[in-house]
Amino acid sequence: MDNNKRRASTKVPDQVCQYGSDCYRKNPIHFKEFSHPHLESILMEASAKSKYRIPDELFMSREVVLDQLKVLEQVYPELIHSRNSPPSKYSKNNTNQNSSSAGSSSTSTERISQSNNSNKNDQSSNAKPKPMTSKANSSELKLNSSVSPSKTSKSPSKGNAIADLFAERRAKMAKLQAEQQKKPEAQPSTSGSQAPKQPNPPKPSGISLKKAIPRNIHDYYPVVAPKGQMASKLAAAAPYNYFLTTITDAKITHSEPLSITFQELLDSSLGELECSVQMNFMVDIGWLLGHYFFAGYEDRPLLILYGDETPELKMVSSKKPNVTAVKVHIATPFGVHHTKMGLYGYTDGSMRVVVSTANLYEDDWHNRTQGLWVSPRLPPMPEDSDTGAGDSKTGFRENLITYLNSYKIGHLQPWVARIQKTNFSEVNVFLVASVPGGHLNTPKGPLWGHPRMGYLLGKHSAPIDDSCPLVAQSSSIGSLGPNPQSWVLSEVLASFRRDSAPIGLRRVPAFKMIFPSFSNVRNSHDHLLGGGCLPYMKATHDKQVWLKDYLHQWKSDSRNRTKAVPHIKTYCRWSHRGLYWFLLTSANLSKAAWGVYNKSAKFEAPLRINSYEAGVLFLPKFVIEENFFPMESKPGQQHPQFPMPYDVPIIPYALEDTPFFMDYLRG
């Protein structure tokens, strides 16, 4: 049976994957979009389900091929044991035809479990969507298509945790470099003999964790910042130290002073790394270790606290003894470990803290808008220092220690001891975090969730006119209740509206919410598939249709990120005078993240939080010693403009607009 007959008798697409046998994608959507003859041939020759004969030329990537076949047999079960002639390898002509329409880089969407967990806090009947993969610049996914993704690992295969990463990068970057080389070569001559030859992607190397890999990061990552410049970039970003991630398909962001890559967090100019901690929800261990490898820190102690389990994370310590990966277990099934924080210890005894909104896998650092706060370098305290000395005016060190101790994980205790002996006096932001459990007020005020925000604002924020709205912006929305008063106004706004003005009769500020509309996502770099990081379900929205009146578009022309779907989460209040405060956080607008009071309690109503979250609060009083941050740049201005992630004023939804629902990507 030739290729045409095979495709006619199945749903195998005509378009062949540009990476050929070097493709390492493991997601059903990718197999719905592109044909993989080398895999389809194996399925057709299989004697039974999961009984495959792997050709010798694919032996070095056998584990990855097996994972791909398991996905492919779910998508095209009719191919199994068909005993027809296997499809021939696609020709160079086919490759050239298809490569022009396929994107030069691929992305996979964030798993949806954390959004569902926040929804389950109020609506446990919601079905849990499955992970999906997006393809940059690919054809748009039709609404309500027949795609039915199944859960597959985005991480490299077991026993070869970095091999997949490097093989896939090699194929991608070879194509990108070939396309760049074709442009200048095509000008001198357009004859067939002089036309640049379409290169075949290199074969998988089969590199294991313990084998040497050439240290050329440009072969594996599309955006690589110059080495040795992050310290000066951080100094120039003072006093805010607030960055957005670079956008692969927006080249202008690659050289912006306030845009960074993950690799820059490991830059030698920040200090020689001695050890580090990565705390996150999703971690692609191959992607993460690849960055440490290229920074020259592949053998330095690394502790990973994660929320989303993968086989690769469970076995990484057996392959890399310097890496300790610990899953953070949460008592309730409705919460997740959603914090995104990094601790970096240097050989001179100093350290640094990074609070982020990005998961540690490729797609979150590709075409999505993410935010990061990077602390100054924090030196060790003198040996004879008082144990209470060295904290910041914001109490960041004390709050960080309290937060880390809440995990009750022994691996964190050496870090707690180190932090206790580190000078945090240069930190000018507050830590605002959430910890699962039931919480009451303490002598130092509420420690977690939205009451913590209210406490800090009430104590330190300058008086704010009630006409200034609260503007929330997140990448997911939980079950908020049947009306605004159910939770948003009665709890969130009650905390976030506070300031240091005397308590009296005041108006309730307006509430506004920025969440990408369908048209925002459709026009993004990755088209509809870019919405894979926005796990908001139509079933949830149908129970809170009142929210539509509060929704606003995502627009970020000023930061060159209107087409970069936001995974960042922010909350703030401003007026014509300036920005009164700004919160960068991992916490979406959900009860699981911020907490909800148990109003049925007989005495003091405890706050119930389901998830771990972490963010930083910028208050002008502590950052620039003013009552508000400037939101514009004017001649002779004493302080730099605060780098808002989106355009102001914000634009409300039109009547025909709808939020982007994850349903658009599901069958």
Q: What pLDDT shows up at residue 85?
A: 41
Binding residue ranges for substrate? 340, 569
Q: With 50 as the cut, is the pLDDT of residue 44 above it? A: yes
- The one-letter amino acid code at 371 reads G
User: Cβ(610)–Cβ(478) under 8 Å?
Assistant: no
The active-site residue, picked from 30, 38, 338, 366, is: 338
pLDDT in tens, 152-188: 333 333 334 344 444 444 455 555 555 555 544 433 3
Q: What is the CA radius of gyration of the chain?
A: 25
- Residue 506 counted as domain residue: yes
486 and 570 share a domain? yes
State how many domains the chain has: 3
Q: What pLDDT shows up at residue 73?
A: 80
454 and 398 share a domain? no
- Residue 580 counted as domain residue: yes
Distance CA 284, CA 24 (A): 14
Distance CA 614, CA 562 (A): 25
The active-site residue, picked from 36, 291, 527, 567, is: 567
User: Cβ(43)–Cβ(31) under 8 Å?
Assistant: no
255 and 334 share a domain? yes
506 and 398 share a domain? no
- Residue 203 counted as domain residue: no
246 and 328 share a domain? yes
- Write out the residue range of the structural domain in which residue 384 sits: 226-421
Q: What pLDDT shows up at residue 121?
A: 43
User: Residues 6 or more apart from 534 whose CB is under 8 A from it?
Assistant: 475, 476, 515, 516, 521, 565, 660, 662
- Residue 241 counted as domain residue: yes
Judged by average pLDDT, the poorest of 175-189, 244-258, 457-471, 473-487 is 175-189
Distance CA 211, CA 363 (A): 26
- Catalytic site includes residue 525: no
Strand pairing category for 341-346 and 273-279: antiparallel
User: Cβ(484)–Cβ(546) under 8 Å?
Assistant: yes
pTM reported for the whole predicted model: 0.73
411 and 466 share a domain? no
Say if residue 239 is preceded by a cis peptide, omega within 30 of 0. Answer: yes
Q: The domain spanning residue 655 has which CATH number?
A: 3.30.870.10
Tally of CB atoms within 10 A around 638: 8
pLDDT in tens, 424-450: 999 999 999 999 999 998 998 999 999
User: Residues 6 or more apart from 16 whose CB is under 8 A from it?
Assistant: 34, 35, 36, 37, 90, 94, 95, 98
Q: With 80 as the cut, is the pLDDT of residue 46 above it? A: no
Tally of CB atoms within 10 A around 647: 16
- Catalytic site includes residue 552: no
